[in-house]
Structure 1
Amino acid sequence: MDPLIPHMRNVFLFAFLLCLSNFTQASEQTSPENIVYNFYKSYLKEESSDNGRFLSQYVSDELMKSINDSMMCNYDSDDSVSAEELEGKCSQKRECKQFKGRYICNWHGAWVDTDVDYFTKSQDVYPSWKASISTFDVYQKENGSSVNVILGAGSEPKVKFNVVLEKIDRKWKNTSVTEQ
């Protein structure tokens, strides 16, 4: 037998195993748990000048529409929409309720707080939230997942969320955040 054949077989086997390990590593980086962790790690950093592009990587279009429409109607809107369009969005009847001392309304199927950040359920971000992000209790199906998250440690307030993700165009996207 030609001595080159066993050598080539080993080279092909090594290349195959290397590709397999890279694929496994890539799928671990894009697991729902890692997506949620990476989202909060980046989101809690100082404000980005390209926030829209960042959010589109992690958040479903439907959830962003709900958050944006709520903000448009609850705060002074910029001039990017006409007064007629604004009136049409804001005059619709919405189911609203009190939740943990806050007022939330159903915007296109997503319960959105009227006076706090949707993803942190707070007006403030504490330093320990940036340094301590814990993800756990991951539940995953083929196209849906939920991940629990705790932000914070020590004497500062801690918050716990359940983040629901959906696989959209082969990428995990955040479709809701609820406080636990």
Structure 2
Amino acid sequence: MVRVVLATHNQHKAAEFQQILGDAVPGLEIVAYDGPEPVEDGVTFEQNALIKARVATQHTGLPALADDSGICVDAMGGAPGIFSARWAGSHGDAEANLRLLLDQLSDLPVGTRGAHFTATLALVTPEGEETVVQGIWPGRIARTARGSHGHGYDPIFVPEGHESTAAELGPAVKNAESHRARAFAAIAPALNTLVARSR
């Protein structure tokens, strides 16, 4: 069994990863990270994901998987982007972030509310190998928050092909279609290689 540390203190994210992982990579065990919180001073999702994975690998001596994700609104030039978690000023106030974004988009008609979730995954090994992949979930911003599943901006994001928000879809659909699911599908070959190498 190959152990890979998931470089996050976010319990929602950790639970989501465990669900998405499923049986996609046999022989892989995802372990929790309890080390220092890195300074995410990158200017892209990729840079921040690599910062987190490198710190977790250095701290644990294990391969580390890190995610940096956010919502990007077309009419706002891709913002909030890497600032999604602290859009309203303080890190992690999901309700305030969501309210502020809805307020900022209040005058935009339906056809101009395009947006996408982005998830960037970085896998870093103690030997210094680095793999970075990205998953995109296109959609639009709803006018009001709806649904109780999920977290963050899920209640105001309507994925392409749906009329429900991500928070109304429920975990099974979300874990099959989301930006994180797409990023994980892209990183799975590298994780499978890691497992195969250890045999």
- TM-score class normalised by the smaller sequence: under 0.3
**Which structure would you say has the larger Rg?**
1
The structure carrying a bigger strand percent of its residues is 1
TM-score (norm 2): 0.24
TM-score of the superposed pair, with normalisation by structure 1 = 0.26
